[in-house]
Structure 1
Amino acid sequence: MATLAHSTDNYTNTANTSWLATYKNYVAKAEFNRFGWAVSALAIQGCILSPALLLIMSNFGGGDWQFLVSMLCFLLVLVPILSAFPVKYIFPTFATSLVLHLLMIAIDLL
């Protein structure tokens, strides 16, 4: 007969639960789905963020510097993807681009 109780040897308590350790663990697990993350980042950047900023710039008036920053942010996301860098480089570049786009959209709307 099989036992009903399982041992708890698989549970480990580590004191290293900082946000950086959590991020590194998440990135290590996300590396398996690198293609999906790369496509998602590029689709959000190219199909949502950049067109939304350009539409808001044309309606509310934006400077040339905003267009330049938008294109540089697009390249900031595109270069690590085309260079086949690991996910640990794609996540921060996309986050930087997302924050800059949202900041420029807020500047135009306000």
Structure 2
Amino acid sequence: MATLTQPSVYTTNPSSNWLTTYQNFIHKAEFNRIGWAATAVAIQGCILAPALLLAMFYFGGGDWQFLVGMLSFMLVLVPVLSAMSVKYIIPTFAISVAIHVLIILIDVL
């Protein structure tokens, strides 16, 4: 039989800063880790890397840009293939996107 009294411990909502929101998102996204990993690799391999190579071809990029672009591609691929959690996949993907966009902007401008 269940008790009729309410618990006397009251919980408060933690402050909703960006770190708490991010940690809650990561905790919920862990259930779909394979989907997040596949999406990161697909965007990286089908959109970002070809866009970088096209920008390098049309605007005359250097060898260092190709090297940095491929190393940032590996930055995403290593956590995905080693089956790490989403906590590692999403930040590495964000860093790789930033690097690719920066190199493309360097070539275009």
Given the two structures, how large is their TM-score scaled by the length of structure 2? 0.88
Q: Deviations over 1:31-68 (max 9, x none)?
A: 00001000000000001000100011001000111000
Q: In structure 1, what is the Cα distance between the partners aligned to 2:86 and 2:52?
A: 26
Structure 1 unaligned segments of length 5 or more: list them: 1-11
Q: In the alignment, which residue of structure 1 is the partner of 2:15?
A: 16
Q: In the alignment, which residue of structure 2 is the partner of 1:3?
A: none
State the shift of 1:16 in Å. Answer: 2.2
Structure 2 unaligned segments of length 5 or more: list them: 1-10
Q: CA RMSD for the aligned pairs?
A: 1.0
The yes-or-no answer on 1:101 pairing with 2:100 is: yes
Q: In structure 1, what is the Cα distance between the partners aligned to 2:105 and 2:68?
A: 14
Q: In structure 1, what is the Cα distance between the partners aligned to 2:12 and 2:46?
A: 43
Q: Give the number of equivalent residue pairs.
A: 99
Q: Deviations over 1:58-101 (max 9, x none)?
A: 01000111000011001000000000000000000000000000
Amino acid of the residue matched to residue 81 of structure 1?
V
